[in-house]
Chain A
Amino acid sequence: MANVLAVTEQRDGVLRKTSHEVVWAARQLADAMGGKVDALVLGAPGVGAAAATLGEVGADRVLVAESAAFGKYAPDGYAATAAAGAKVGGYAAVLVAATATGKDLAPRIAAALDAPLATDITAVGFAGGKLTATRPVYAGRAIQQVAFDAPVAVVSVRPNTFVPGKAGKPGVVEKVQAMEVARVVVREVKAAAQGRLDVAEASVVVSGGRGMKGPEHFALIEGLAKAFGNAAVGASRAVVDAGWRPHAEQVGQTGKTVSPQLYVAVGISGAIQHLAGMKTAKVIVAINKDKDAPIFQVADYGIVGDLFEIVPRLTEEIAKARTG
């Protein structure tokens, strides 16, 4: 069987952007194999209302597992439900987004299904009767191709890699049984500042480095991020180690690996371990006073100069360009 199961993710009943990406990736794979796409939505009663939109990005069927225990992430219940569905659905592949939740969930599903796993993939295909995947390793400093020697495999898909198009077929919504296993319970979710996007999933990231000279100057970075619309604020390791910014914002090998449409590096020299985390951005802009900084070797567009002069002006110009 050559069908694909896309396991989606919601928060507070709203499907996350990566859910559409993962269904779209599943669609591409299923088309290559001549199969169908089922999207699995797990959530509190009523979550099915959000599910119909998944047809537009390629789901033939939307399977909805509703449970009062599924409002917040329920690792064991989600994994058991996805694995139970996968066992009867005749799938060749189970796709999950490689988000914080997906990185936790995908290995559980793989172990429950006794299926091999590839994480954070940037491409998935079907060649010589086998499922294949491409994934960055060594923090993006090498690209690995893998083939699966099993009837079903689990892959987690790197956010921002698959840009959903329109499949234009309405998906059929069906209810499925929610498996209420719970060895751990998410008691609460403490939200960060409202509306703030994470560096790993934002399409624009503005990062500050040691050149910012102190935590108080990150208001400049936040201002520029705001001018771009909803950009995420990132930071270099030096800045996080110095305690200027939280670890959640760290981009690089011991932080997060990001692939946004636009990455703006401000006062970041470009240490190898930082470059590893952002080199796959589509467009890179660097602002640094040292014209020999390694960041300029990977930046599509660089400005050499004093960031304390340049950033305020850039913020103004970007805001103008976006409203004008």
Chain B
Amino acid sequence: MKIAVCIKRTPDTETRVRIAADGVSLDETGVKFILNPYDEFAVEEALQRKEKAGSGEVVAIALGPDAAQETIRSALAMGADRGVLLKADKVPADALAVAKALAAELRDGGYDLILFGKMAVDDYNHAAGPMVAQLLGLPCVTAISKLELEGGKGVAEREIEGGVEVVEFALPAVLTAEKGLNTPRYPALKGIMAAKKKPVETRPAALGPARVVVSALALPPERKAGRIVGEGLDAVPELVRLLRTEAKVL
């Protein structure tokens, strides 16, 4: 089974956001970058599927700057076989531009399965996976929390508001991973050492013009300082009164 996992280098989720001098991007000074947490589920799923099939290849593909090599190494350390870096100075805010570059790489790759995290924790787009599927004309199920594959056919479950959709599809397909799909493994020291020797090809990302242009990035307005209504049971009637008369939410 030949599996592609599309991954992204993102700031750590505990990052304190500061705005860069250009006013449109994140100040990356001192920011720790990680493999996008949702992509860890995608990598894990790819590894498990290959192990189950008994043979195959897992290719980790990232679009980004040179530093995204490290992100690819993280996936290789988990067990992916090789990496591809589609080099771009910056990941554009235009998700479709990114998807087109990924689709160009994936189109003739002969992949049975193309996996993504359901979204990246920086831009929150939820878009690259289903866009790539649309561009390649492949079946796609997003944000899956359960997957069964058998004889070229699959059944996946995805959470929707107040329920779970059970979705059928045939391979090759594009799937995006929700948290809880599996438990991502920690790379063992052996894996980390082996990752250094695994091949990573680099080529320029086939990016067209970005049609989503970021005109400003700002910190959100601060909430006004909170207020402690009181301590213990005695504060309850006052809270209810405030919710009713001041906040008007009852």
Contacts and interface: CB of A to CB of B under 8 A. Distances in A.
A262 B249 contact: yes
Given A189-B163, A301-B242, A145 B142 contact: no
B163 A190 contact: yes
Interface stretch (A48-56, A61-69, A135-143, A168-176): A135-143
B164 A190 contact: yes
A116 B226 contact: no
Contacts of A114: 96
Interface stretch (B7-15, B104-112, B186-194): B7-15
A108 B26 contact: no
Main secondary structure of the interface of A (DSSP, over half): mixed
Residue of B99, B134, B173 with most partner-chain A CB within 10 A: B134
A150 B95 CA distance: 14
Interface residues of B, number: 88
B131 interface: yes
A313 interface: yes
B216 interface: yes
Contact of A184 (B13, B160, B167, B249): B167
A321 interface: yes
A187 interface: yes
A284 B227 CA distance: 10
Nearest to A195: B162
Nearest to A276: B13
A95 to B, nearest CB: 15
Interface string B120-156: 0111111111110111011111110100000000010
Contacts of B228: 291, 296, 302-304
A31 interface: no
Given A103-B143, A116-B94, A138-B26, A189 B166 contact: yes
B165 interface: yes
Given A108-B130, A313-B236, A145 B161 contact: no
B162 A192 contact: yes
Interface in B34-64: 37-38
Contact of B215 (A145, A187, A247, A282): A145
Interface residues of A, number: 95
A191 B233 CA distance: 38
B235 interface: yes
Interface string A298-324: 111111111001100110011001100
Interface stretch (B74-82, B197-205, B206-214): B206-214
A119 interface: yes
A254 to B, nearest CB: 6
Given A114-B96, A189-B160, A254-B121, A104 B143 contact: yes
Given A192-B162, A302-B229, 11 more contacts: A99-B160, A139-B13, A144-B214, A153-B211, A183-B139, A189-B164, A190-B165, A285-B239, A301-B239, A303-B235, A309-B233
13 contacts: A76-B139, A101-B160, A107-B134, A108-B133, A119-B126, A137-B124, A146-B214, A150-B211, A192-B163, A248-B159, A279-B223, A301-B239, A303-B235
